[in-house]
Amino acid sequence: MTQSGTPVLILKEGTSENKGRDAQRNNIFAAKLIAEIVKSSLGPRGMDKMLVDTLGDVTITNDGATILKEIDVQHPAAKMIVEISKTTDNEVGDGTTSAVVLAGALIESAEELIRDNVHPTIIVDGYRKAANKSLQTLDKLAIKVDPTDRKWLVKIAHTSMASKLISKESDQLADLAADAVLAVAEKVGEGYRVDMDDIKVEKKPGSGLKQTQLIKGIVLDKEVVHAGMPKRIDGAKIALLNSPLEIEKTEFDAKINISDPSQIKKFLDEENSMLKGMVDKIIQSGANVVVCQKGIDDIAQHYLAKNNVLAVRRVKESDMTKLSKATGGRIVTNLDDLSEKDLGKAQVVEERKVEEDKWVFVEGARNPKAITLLVRGATQRVTDEAERSMHDALMVVKDVIEHPSVVVGGGAPEAELSYQLRDWANSLSGREQLAVQKYADALESIPLTLAENAGMDPIDTQVELRAKHGQGKKWWGVNVLEGKTGDLETEQVFEPNAVKEQIIKSATEAASMILRIDDVIASTKMKAPPGPPGGGGMGGPGGMGGMGGMED
Ligand SMILES: Nc1ncnc2c1ncn2[C@@H]1O[C@H](COP(=O)(O)OP(=O)(O)OP(=O)(O)O)[C@@H](O)[C@H]1O
Ligand SMILES: [Mg+2]
Please work out, in degrees rounded to the nearest 5, the angle formed at the alpha carbon of residue 521 by the alpha carbons of 518 and 526: 150
Choose the catalytic residue: 392, 449, 485, 508. 392
Helix (H) / strand (E) containing 280: helix 261-285
Q: Is the pLDDT of residue 172 over 50?
A: yes
DSSP-based three-state secondary structure for 500: helix
- How do residues 435-479 score in pLDDT, each as one tens digit? 999 999 999 999 999 999 999 999 999 999 999 999 999 999 999
Residues with Cβ < 8 Å from 552, sequence gap 6 or more?
Answer: 25, 115
| Ligand 2 mean position, distance from CA 189 (Å) | 30
Residues with Cβ < 8 Å from 151, sequence gap 6 or more?
Answer: none
Q: Indicate the top mutation candidate among 34, 38, 42 to test ligand 1's pocket, ranked by most ligand atoms within 8 A of CB.
A: 42
**Per-residue pLDDT, 250:** 66
- How do residues 188-245 score in pLDDT, each as one tens digit? 998 999 988 889 898 989 888 898 989 888 899 999 999 999 999 999 999 999 999 9
- State the sign of the Cα–Cα–Cα–Cα dihedral 346, 349, 353, 354: positive
- Residue 76 beta carbon below 6 angstroms from any ligand 1 atom: no
Predicted confidence band of residue 539 (pLDDT cuts 50, 70, 90): very low
Q: Which whole number is the average pLDDT over 137-142?
A: 95
97 is catalytic: yes
- Residue 495 beta carbon below 6 angstroms from any ligand 1 atom: yes
Q: Which residues pair with 407 in a beta bridge?
A: 495
Measured CA to CA, the distance from residue 173 to residue 181 in angstroms comes to: 12
Measured CA to CA, the distance from residue 270 to residue 105 in angstroms comes to: 73
| Ligand 2 mean position, distance from CA 146 (Å) | 22
3-state secondary structure 349-395: EEEEEECCEEEEEEEEECCCCCEEEEEEECCHHHHHHHHHHHHHHHH
- Residue 410 beta carbon below 6 angstroms from any ligand 1 atom: yes
- Residue 162 beta carbon below 6 angstroms from any ligand 1 atom: yes
From the CA of 450, which ligand is nearest?
A: 1
Choose the catalytic residue: 63, 89, 94, 384. 63
Q: Which long-range contacts (CB under 8 A, 24 or more apart) does 18-22 make?
A: 18/519, 18/520, 18/521, 18/522, 18/544, 18/548, 19/518, 19/519, 19/520, 20/518, 20/519, 22/548
- Residue 126 beta carbon below 6 angstroms from any ligand 1 atom: no
- Residue 194 beta carbon below 6 angstroms from any ligand 1 atom: no
Residues with Cβ < 8 Å from 283, sequence gap 6 or more?
Answer: 307, 309
- Strands 476-479 and 519-522: what pairing? unpaired
Indicate which residue's Cα is closest to atom 7 of ligand 1. 410
96 is catalytic: yes
Residues with Cβ < 8 Å from 229, sequence gap 6 or more?
Answer: 301, 304, 305, 308, 309, 310, 311
- Residue 453 beta carbon below 6 angstroms from any ligand 1 atom: no
3-state secondary structure 28-75: HHHHHHHHHHHHCCCCCCCCCEEEECCCCCEEEECCHHHHHHHCCCCC
Nearest residue to 199 via CA among 185, 212, 187: 185
476 and 490 Cβ atoms separated by less than 8 Å: no
Query: Which atom of ligand 1 has the smallest separation from the CA of 478?
Result: 4
| Ligand 2 mean position, distance from CA 104 (Å) | 18
374 and 218 Cβ atoms separated by less than 8 Å: no
149 is catalytic: no
- State the sign of the Cα–Cα–Cα–Cα dihedral 78, 84, 89, 95: negative
DSSP character for 403?
A: S
- Residue 496 beta carbon below 6 angstroms from any ligand 1 atom: no
pTM of the predicted model as reported, rounded to 2 decimal places: 0.83
Residues with Cβ < 8 Å from 506, sequence gap 6 or more?
Answer: 84, 87, 88, 91, 99, 103
- Residue 338 beta carbon below 6 angstroms from any ligand 1 atom: no
- How do residues 49-81 score in pLDDT, each as one tens digit? 888 888 888 888 888 888 888 887 888 888 889
Nearest residue to 170 via CA among 393, 380, 375, 498: 393
Measured CA to CA, the distance from residue 85 to residue 96 in angstroms comes to: 5
224 and 352 Cβ atoms separated by less than 8 Å: no
- Residue 97 beta carbon below 6 angstroms from any ligand 1 atom: yes
| Ligand 1 mean position, distance from CA 455 (Å) | 16
Query: Which atom of ligand 1 has the smallest separation from the CA of 38?
Result: 26
Indicate which residue's Cα is closest to atom 15 of ligand 1. 43
**Per-residue pLDDT, 1:** 57
| Ligand 2 mean position, distance from CA 511 (Å) | 21
Indicate which residue's Cα is closest to atom 20 of ligand 1. 95
17 and 520 Cβ atoms separated by less than 8 Å: yes
- Residue 42 beta carbon below 6 angstroms from any ligand 1 atom: yes
53 is catalytic: no
**Per-residue pLDDT, 222:** 92
Choose the catalytic residue: 59, 96, 383, 461. 96
Indicate which residue's Cα is closest to atom 26 of ligand 1. 63
Share of the chain above pLDDT 70, in %: 91
**Per-residue pLDDT, 371:** 87
| Ligand 1 mean position, distance from CA 464 (Å) | 20
Q: Is the pLDDT of residue 261 over 90?
A: no
DSSP character for 296?
A: B
Question: 20-24, 62-66, 286-290, 426-430: lowest mean pLDDT where?
Answer: 20-24
* 95-125 exposure pattern, b = at least 16 Cβ within 10 A, e = fewer: bbbbbbbbbbbbbbbbbebbeeebebeebbb
Choose the catalytic residue: 59, 97, 159, 372. 97
Measured CA to CA, the distance from residue 31 to residue 100 in angstroms comes to: 9
Nearest residue to 413 via CA among 401, 425, 405: 405
From the CA of 89, which ligand is nearest?
A: 1
- Residue 163 beta carbon below 6 angstroms from any ligand 1 atom: yes
